[in-house]
Each structure stands twice: as structure tokens, then as C-alpha cells.
Amino acid sequence: MNDTRNCNPVDRDEGAERVGMGVLLAKYYQLHPNDDIKTALLKYAKFLRNRLQESDYKTFSSVDRKGRNRAYNYAWVADFYFHNPKSQETSNMQWMAI
């Protein structure tokens, strides 16, 4: 039994595996297209691009960008962008500059 009374603060940020929820939703959207889900995914893509990434795509775990940028985050973000509905509509990745 884990009776630890506290949780490491690094586990409560906006990046890393939390982006996996966006990936899951994007994959769900591919099987069950829905305008509300698409809108949510595009808003989330904007959040990732503007809050967790710098203009050169350097990716952080949190919106304050104070921590180190871990390679761990890039795989999650890349997977989200790959499965995002907007990426399926265009061969041009300029949409990520939202």
C-alpha cells in the first residue's frame, strides 16, 4: 500500500503524459468524428503550441516554462500533432503555428 502523503509537484504539470489525453481524444475523433470534439482538439493544439512550446518548438512540461525541457515531452506532443484532425486535412504543417 502506498501511504505517501504528498505527490511530487513535477507530476502535476500540464505536459508529459497529460498530453496523452489529447492523443486519446484525437484517436477517438478519427473513429467517431464530431464537431465538438474537433473544436476541443483544435483549442488544445493551440494551448500546446502557445503555452507549452516556444516558437522553435522547444517543449516544456509546464506553462511557466521554468523547468527543463525533457525529451520525454516531445514524443507525446508529436503523437498529438500526428493524430490531430487538422493534420489530416492538410499536407502543410503551418496550422501548428496557430
Contact 36, 14 (CB under 8 A): no
Contact 21, 40 (CB under 8 A): no
pLDDT digits (tens, 9 = 90+) for 35-81: 999 899 989 999 999 999 999 999 988 888 887 777 888 999 999 98
Among 40, 61, 42, 41, smallest CA distance to 51 is for 61
Contact 86, 45 (CB under 8 A): yes
Q: What is the pLDDT of residue 91?
A: 47
Residue 32 has pLDDT above 90, yes or no: yes
Q: Which residue has the higher pLDDT, 40 or 10?
A: 40
Q: Is 61 exposed, middle or buried (0-12, 13-18, 19+ CB in 10 A)?
A: buried
Which residues does residue 59 pair with via DSSP β-bridges, in sequence order? 53
**Residue 27 CA, distance from chain mean position:** 13
Secondary structure (3-state) at 59: strand
Kindly report the pTM of this predicted structure.
0.75
Report the pLDDT averaged over residues 13-34: 88
